[in-house]
Copies of this chain bind each other. A is one copy, B any other.
């Protein structure tokens, strides 16, 4: 695992750098997702869970965004895939320049699938384009069903939402009908995966969804 510590972020040319990254991913046919969600929604756990399914078929790597620690990257590394720990030094989200730096340290020759786990937040940053093919938001039922309307940009821009910790839903006031109504009002095409990383429900469905996207990118 390589750990990169960003001293100062260069956000001013984010768009230009994002385009450069995007051309790189397209030329190499690497399918890339930007995984977003609150601290503690379970982003790293979801990645850990899908690795087994994905790596049977495709080469996968992870860029772990975090303020200071390498805790998440250490968890991913145990699953024997390439991982870069990207520390923002306090900045609340990743930007295209940080991804460009990470790409210099990743072996992308045979890479099919790249997961970028963003810093925990439900606020979509202004310089949010990381040149990913798709944003996916992870939210847990313990956060409450009001989150889509409270953080609408995140749900409008994401192609899928992983509704995590479904095993705890009976212990919460989470109104799943209201959640579906709100999330589809914001984004009628968003795909919802109901998931529990405790009993693995929904993990195969996400993996199959991603494998299809990876396959499509290879034949793009």
Interface residues of A (CB under 8 A from B): 38-40, 66-69, 71, 90, 92, 119-123, 125, 139-140, 142-144, 146-147, 149-153, 165, 167-168, 171
Q: Contacts A39-B151, A40-B38 hold; do A142 and B165 have CB atoms under 8 A apart? A: yes
Q: Identify A39's interface contact among B71, B119, B147, B152, CB under 8 A.
A: B147
* Cβ B140 vs Cβ A121 within 8 A: no
- Complex Cα distance, B143 from A153, in Å, reads 22
B residues within 8 A CB of A69? Answer: 149-150
15 residue pairs of the A-B complex, CB under 8 angstroms, read: A38-B38, A38-B143, A39-B151, A40-B139, A40-B142, A40-B143, A67-B150, A71-B149, A71-B150, A92-B121, A92-B125, A121-B121, A140-B142, A142-B165, A167-B171
Q: Identify A144's interface contact among B40, B125, B144, B147, CB under 8 A.
A: B40
Q: In the complex, which residue of chain B has the Cβ closest to the Cβ of A149?
A: B69
- Complex Cα distance, B123 from A90, in Å, reads 7
* 9 closest A-B pairs by CB: A40-B143, A92-B123, A142-B142, A39-B122, A38-B39, A38-B38, A40-B144, A69-B150, A69-B149
* Cβ A68 vs Cβ B142 within 8 A: no
New contact pairs (14) apart from A120-B122, A142-B142, CB-CB < 8 Å: A38-B38, A38-B40, A39-B143, A40-B147, A66-B150, A67-B152, A68-B149, A68-B152, A90-B123, A119-B123, A120-B150, A121-B121, A121-B123, A168-B168
Q: In the complex, which residue of chain B has the Cβ closest to the Cβ of A75?
A: B146
Q: For the complex formed by this chain, how many copies does it contain in all?
A: 2
Q: In the complex, which residue of chain B has the Cβ closest to the Cβ of A145?
A: B40
- Complex Cα distance, B71 from A168, in Å, reads 24
B residues within 8 A CB of A153? Answer: 90
B residues within 8 A CB of A71? Answer: 146, 149-150
Q: Identify A150's interface contact among B39, B121, B165, CB under 8 A.
A: B39
B residues within 8 A CB of A150? Answer: 39, 66-69, 71, 120
- Complex Cα distance, B197 from A100, in Å, reads 44
